[in-house]
Amino acid sequence: MPQIAGTEDFEAHLDRAVALDARLGGVAQVLRAIAVASIEMSGLIGLGRLYGRLGDSRASTNTDGDVQKELDVLANDLFVSAFKRAPVAAVVSEEMSEPLVLDPACLLVVAMDPLDGSSNIDANVSIGTIFSILPVLADANGAEAHFLQPGRTQIAAGFVIYGPQTSLVFALGSGQTQIFTLDRRAGRFYQAVSAPVVASECAEYAINASNYRHWDTPIRAFIDDCEQGTEGPLKRNHNMRWTGSLVADAYRILLRGGIFLYPGDQRAGYMDGRLRLLYEANPVAFIIERAGGKASDCLRPILDIVPSAIHARIPLVFGSPAAVELVARYHSDLQFSAEHAPLFGKRGLMRL
């Protein structure tokens, strides 16, 4: 089997990190457990219909009220089993209503979305696993309290993307974001990109435009300005991207810049956003910031927000710093937003 020249093995990378900071020993064990489980997940996903109808719906729903797919449940069970072999005190998952206590004597807890983008399973679009590793709190009153910490207390976080390549994207300790890709021939992860840097500006945005009529004025104004291209106030043409898979959009932004927006809107159940702060927004914000990008809830940095509950929702905007800051200005400066509102647009009342 050919050697992969000039690349670092995942195990060696973790060993080097622990050698520099022994306190990361337990976290490294959890990351190893995630890597092992993700290799098995990658194999199952790669088989598609040959393994079974993994995209079929079950009679049950998850904490979000979404109908669970067969692979959602399989992924949850697989990763929970992996964490039982690692120093994990408790696990929170999108697929479980309450925290699952594993070993109260351990010093780490894990929050996860076992299978992000599961609606794309049968469409052969990239899906993923998102995870956040937090320290236990000495004075926690019950398992849930360990998880109600701001994202800046994460010791490690990231995601696995199952696509044309299976890649493990993470940041550990105070280190920068790293991308390791699975060599399926060897069954091992090797470093593919060291310390990616999110482009400071962008010409791509990812948003579900079918919800335009439900958005608040600042989001409409920002997207209207993007659509106007070089003739508009942003003075550049933009392309829209939307996969319906958070990990796929995050991976693209890490490698070539751009901005992702999943705002709250006027629909029932969407006012506070739809993504989960604990195990979707926080891990993504962690790796994006470590790569020089920014992440907010349209106004506040995501990593500064204290979760109100383990399944709390949040609006999420992340990517190139200049674009994320501009979205915040549309929200914080009402005059600025009003000047860009549809009333003054090319189809507005002022230009009849």
pLDDT in tens, 258-280: 999 999 999 999 999 999 999 99
Closest C-alpha to 258, from 244, 248, 268: 248
pLDDT at 345 > cutoff 60? no
Average of per-residue pLDDT across 113-135: 92
Residues designated catalytic? 66, 72, 94-95, 113, 115-116, 280
pLDDT at 344 > cutoff 70? no
Query: What is the pLDDT of the chain when averaged over all its residues?
Result: 91
To the nearest 10°, report the CA torsion of 224, 230, 235, 239.
Answer: 60
- How far, in Å, CA of 169 to CA of 193, rounded? 9
- Structure confidence at residue 349 (pLDDT): 30
The domain 204-351: what is its CATH number? 3.40.190.80
| 192-250: pLDDT as tens digits | 999 999 999 889 999 999 999 999 999 999 999 999 999 999 999 999 999 999 999 99
- Structure confidence at residue 61 (pLDDT): 55
Cβ atoms 205, 323 nearer than 8 A = yes
Structure tokens given for 259: 């901005």
Cβ atoms 40, 78 nearer than 8 A = yes
Cβ atoms 302, 330 nearer than 8 A = no
pLDDT at 351 > cutoff 50? no
Task: Provide the terminal-to-terminal Cα distance of the chain, rounded to the nearest Å.
Answer: 68
The residue extents of the domains of the chain are 10-194, 204-351
User: Does the structural domain 10-194 have CATH classification 3.40.50.720?
Assistant: no
Closest C-alpha to 29, from 110, 99, 105, 145: 110
Q: Which of 68 and 39 is assigned the larger pLDDT?
A: 39
CA atoms within 13 A on the CB side of 249: 28
- Structure confidence at residue 115 (pLDDT): 95
- Structure confidence at residue 24 (pLDDT): 98
CB-CB neighbours of 177 under 10 Å: 25
Residue the block writes with tokens 């790796």:
287
